[in-house]
Structure 1
Amino acid sequence: AASKTQNSGTVATAAALPIDLFGENRVQELVEKSAAGAYASRPVHLIGHLQTNKVRHVVGKASLIHSVDSQKLLFAIHREAQKQGIVQPVLLEVNIAGEVSKSGIALRDLTALAEACEALPGVQVEGLMCIPPKTSCEADQHRAFEALRLAACDLEDRHYSWIHMHHLSMGMSGDFESAILEGSTIIRVGTAIFGPRDYSIR
């Protein structure tokens, strides 16, 4: 359940339902709701953009960080994980359509980012994540999700011992059906569970 902008009480109510895990876009919300016990021991993932200066607030709290898109961020996570004596699971975020408005690494640079992980034992790559272009065309949705699946297959075929392709994080409330058909293992559904978000909440 993508619980961005939902207060701790709403999240705690949702935690009583058969929801596997929660995802937060904002570091501050993840920290505050964790401290309030809102997730009721359910895993929580960081699914939004992560700045390097906020890494210390997330490592060890998020069971999976979805939005790793640079060597600088990888190194910051590795360094904090080493301080804590843990290995932090992450996903590499791919900007599947090269949209300027979105974060994520370009497909052409994905292999280099994956190879950089070999020297960073504080992180464990578990798969890939993408936010595709917003469209109601199912064919376009499938093409975007297929591109991420094929990128994961390419990395698997390289047999890197230090990364796994266990997860594809793709699909939200408007396109999760297409994502599932293309092999998604994690869907980030918020509006379909909680209703329209109040973006005045910060």
Structure 2
Amino acid sequence: MNLEENLKKLYEDIELAKDHSNFCRDVKLIAVSKTHPVEMIKEFNKLGVTDFGENKVQELVSKIEDKEIENKLKNNKINFHLIGNLQTNKVKYIYDKVELIQSLDRIKLAKEIDKRAARDNIKVDCLVQINIGNEATKSGIKYEDTEDFIYELLDYKNINIKGLMAIAPNSPDETLLRKLFEKMNIMFENISSKNYVGVEMKYLSMGMSHDFKLAIEEGANMIRVGSKLFGNRNYN
């Protein structure tokens, strides 16, 4: 597999999608490295990719313990994002090590993140995850609860809300996907207009390997792409 070719093709597809979008937004790539070896992360980092997404805390911790990765983290040459469901008892392992927790979806989790961050006198950047397709198998708050949830989060002074994240249904129905991405963008702009203290709608994180072009066309400025870069996942 030629990782450089995969990355080049992805960048070309991103630019094409931006050309077809009505939104003039830069797009930040999160390379989803879950289940893939740390050597592939290092290879993509040499090619200029700085941000990587992991689903599981244990796997994320094992990767950032690699000496080369650890040094790059200290020098801000590489960043990790927790993009999967985060259990409260796992917060202590990663709250101060990730660029973004992209899956904040309940107050109990916010309390734990805030408590840990307050002890260290730091602020933790998070995205609010919305279950845009109302899927029972996916995490995230209900779309209609977004504003109330963010209002509750204002009490947690050691959390910075940096935007919204959603995982669309794995569907071939482009009309459905567009509609859901459009709804996310409407909420993103609605929350932006409120100017809440500690809330910055900087990132609209939506779109994966199968639907990132549609997501960008509908306003995404952060995409999470795995298989198009790394190839099929290895669950062994």
Residues 1:133 and 2:164 aligned together: no
Q: Which has the higher helix share?
A: 2
Q: TM-score, normalised by structure 1?
A: 0.95
Query: Which one of the candidate residues 95, 118, 124 is aligned to 1:59?
Result: 95
Q: 2:126 aligns with which of 86, 90, 101?
A: 90
Q: Deviations over 1:6-27 (max 9, x none)?
A: 1112221221112131111111
Q: 2:188 — aligned with what?
A: 152
User: How far has the Cα of 1:117 moved from its partner?
Assistant: 1.7
Identity %: 37
AA aligned to 2:219 is G
Between the aligned partners of 2:202 and 2:121, the Cα distance in structure 1 is: 23
Instruction: Compare CA radii of gyration and give the structure with the larger one.
Output: 2
| Superposition deviation, residue 138 in structure 1 | 2.0
Q: Does 1:166 align with 2:197?
A: no
How far apart are 1:76 and its partner, in Å? 0.7
Match of 1:110 in 2: 146
Q: 1:38 is matched with which residue?
A: 69
The residue aligned with 2:9 is none
Match of 1:28 in 2: 58
Q: Which runs of 5+ in 2 are unaligned?
A: 1-30
- Give the whole-Å Cα distance in 1 for the aligned partners of 2:192 and 2:149: 14
How far the C-alpha of 1:189 sits from its partner, in A, is 0.4
CA-based RMSD: 1.2
Higher relative contact order (CA closer than 8 Å, sequence separation 6+): 2
- Between stretches 48-57 and 139-148, larger displacement belongs to 139-148
Could you tell me which runs of 5 or more consecutive residues in structure 1 were left unpaired when the two chains were aligned: none
Over 4 Å off, 4+ runs: none
**Normalising to structure 2: TM-score of the pair?**
0.82
Q: Which residue of 2 aligns with 1:80?
A: 116
How many residue pairs match? The answer is: 200
Corresponding position of 1:176: 212
The answer to whether the Cα contact below 8 Å between 1:15 and 1:38 also exists between their aligned partners in 2 is: no
Q: Is the CA contact 1:60–1:88 (under 8 Å) kept in the aligned structure 2?
A: yes
